[in-house]
Amino acid sequence: MATISTTKPSRYLPILLAIAIFMQQLDATILNTALPSMAADLGQSPLNMQSAIIAYALTLAIMMPLSGFLSDKLGTRKLFMGSMVIFIIGSVLCAASNNLPLLVLARIIQGLGGAMLTPVARLTMMQAYDRSKLITVMNYAIMPALIGPVLGPIIGGYLVVYMSWHWIFLLNVPIGLLGLLVTWYIMPDFNRPANYFDGLGFFLFSASAFCMTLTFETMSHANNILFGCMMAAAGIGALFAYLAHARQNNRALYPPHLILVRTFRLGLAGNLVSRLGMSALPLLLPLMFQVAFSYDAVNSGWLLMPLALAAIFAKPFLKPLMNHFGYRNTLAWNTRIIGILIMSLAFISAATPQWLILLHLCVLGACNSLQFTGMNTITLADLRPNQVSSGTSLMAVNQQLALSFGIAIGALLLQNLSRASFIHQNITSAFRVTFIILGVFTLLSSWIFARLHPTDGDNLLTREK
C-alpha cells in the first residue's frame, strides 16, 4: 500500500522544487562562461571542454527513468535527501579536479544526484496536493527557478574574473545544504511497493544513448574516427535490440504504442532534431565571445543573459499565437525563424555593437521559449491517461539527449572546421561556418512540424479558451 499523507502539506513544500530546479539550471548555465578559464587551468584547449557539459547532461538523460521506481522503493524523502547529498559531493569533487578526466568523472557523480532532484520533488508535490491546487503550486515553484538560467552566465563570469572557476561548483554547497534543511523539516515521505521495472529495457536504451553521444564526442578527434564508427554501430544496434525487446514486453520502459500516437511521434522527433542547433548555442556563444572576440568572462556572461531573460517574457505570447495560427503553422515557421537567426550569428564579429548582439540574442531567446513550450505541449496533447506517465518521462529524457547531442555535434563541427585547410587557422571563420551549418539543419527540421495536421492541438486551444 502507498504511504498517504494524512496532514496538510507545508505551505513551503514548493520551495523544494524551486531549489532543485534552480540548482540544476544554475549549474547547467554557470559553467559555460567559465570553460576558457577552466581549460587554461587544466591544460586543455577551450575547444575540448565540451565533455564536461556532455557528461552531466547524458547522466541526467540515462538516470531519469529510474526516478519513479526508486521513489517507490526508497521513499521520496530519503531519495531526495540522498540525491542532494550526492549532488553536493559531486560539486565538491568538480571543484577539486585538476585535470579534465577527473572533472568529467566528478560531473557524472554530480549528474547521478541531479537526475533525481527535480523528478522526485515534482512527484512529491503531485502526491501531496489535490489536482485542483497542483497547477498553482507548480507554477509557484517553477517560476522563481527560471532565474537560474538568467543569473548563471553572469555569476559564472564574475566568479571566474574575481575569484576562480572552482567557486562555480562550490556555490552548490550552501544551496544544497539549504535544500537538505528544508527537506528534513517539511518534505513528506511517500512510498509504495516498488512496481515492476524494465531493467533490460533500461540497459538497452541507456546503452544506445551513451554510444550515440560518444560517437559525436570521439569523432571530434581525428584519430578516433574508427572508434566513433564502432560506437555508432553499437548505439544503433542497442536501439534496435530495445525495440525488439519492447515489442515482446507489455510493461516495457517506453511502450511501442507511444510512437503510434502521431502527435507524440512528430513532437518527439521535432523536440530532438530542432533542439540540436539551439542546444549547441550555450557552448558555442561564450567560446566565440571569449576565444574569438577576446571578451572577458563577465562581458560574455552579460551578453548571454538575454537568451534566458527573453524566454521568461515570451511565454505569455504562446497562447495567442497558437489560437491565431495553430500549432502546425506556429511551430513550423518559428523553427525556420530560429534557423535563420542561428545562421545570422555568422555575421557577428568583435566589431559588432554589443547592443545589436543583445537584441539578436533577445529575439532568439524569445523564439526558443515559444518553440520549447509549443513542442512540449503538442507532444503530450493526444496521449491517453495510461500513456501520460511513460510519455512524459520519454519526452524529458529526449530533451536531455538533444542537449547532449547538440553540444557534441556543435563541438564536432567547430573542432573539425578549426583544423580545415580552407579556414586557414581563423577561429572566427570556424565559428561562422559552424553556425551556418547548425542553422541550416534547424531550418530543415521545420519539415517535421509541417507534417502536423492543421487541426492538431485544437483540443488544447479549446480547453484554454
Residue 368: φ, ψ to 5°:
-60, -45
Query: What's this model's pTM, rounded to 2 decimal places?
Result: 0.84
Whether the CB-CB separation of 210 and 99 falls below 8 Å is answered with no
| Residue for grid cell 533490460 | 200
DSSP structure string for 205-243: HHHHHHHHHHHHHHTTSGGGHHHHHHHHHHHHHHHHHHH
Residues 292 and 427: beta-carbon distance below 8 Å: yes
Report pLDDT digits (tens) over 135-188. 666 666 666 666 777 788 888 888 888 888 889 899 889 988 888 888 888 777
The SS3 call for residue 294 is: coil
C-alpha grid cell, residue 218: 570521439
Please report the pLDDT score of residue 106 as a whole number.
94
pLDDT at residue number 464: 42
Residues 226-280 pLDDT 10s: 787 888 899 999 999 999 998 888 888 888 888 888 889 998 999 889 888 888 9
What is the predicted pLDDT for the residue at 145?
Answer: 63
Q: Do the domains at 1-187 and 253-465 have one common CATH topology?
A: yes
Q: Which CATH number fits domain 1-187: 3.40.50.720, 1.20.1250.20, 3.40.50.12780, 1.10.287.980?
A: 1.20.1250.20
What CA–CA distance (Å, rounded) separates 278 from 276?
6
- Sort residue 425 into left (φ over 0), alpha (ψ -120 to 50) or beta: left
Residue 6: which pLDDT band, with cuts at 50, 70 and 90?
Answer: very low
Report residue 408 CA to chain centroid gap.
Answer: 13
Q: For residue 178, what pLDDT is reported?
A: 85
Amino acid at 453: H
- The residues spanned by each domain of the chain are 1-187, 253-465
Q: What pLDDT does residue 319 have?
A: 78
Exposure on the CB side of residue 139, measured as CA atoms within 13 A: 7
Close Cβ partners of 461 (under 8 Å, ≥ 6 residues apart) = 322, 323, 326
Look up residue 86 and give its three cell numbers: 550526492
- What integer pLDDT is reported at residue 53 of this predicted model? 86
Return the CATH number of 253-465, one of 1.10.260.40, 3.40.228.10, 1.20.1250.20, 3.40.50.2000: 1.20.1250.20
> DSSP characters for 81-118?
HHHHHHHHHHHHHHHH--SHHHHHHHHHHHHHHHHHHH
Q: How confident is the model over 332-362, as pLDDT tens digits? A: 999 999 999 999 999 998 889 999 999 999 9
Taking only the tens place, the pLDDT of each residue in 49-61 is 888 888 888 888 8
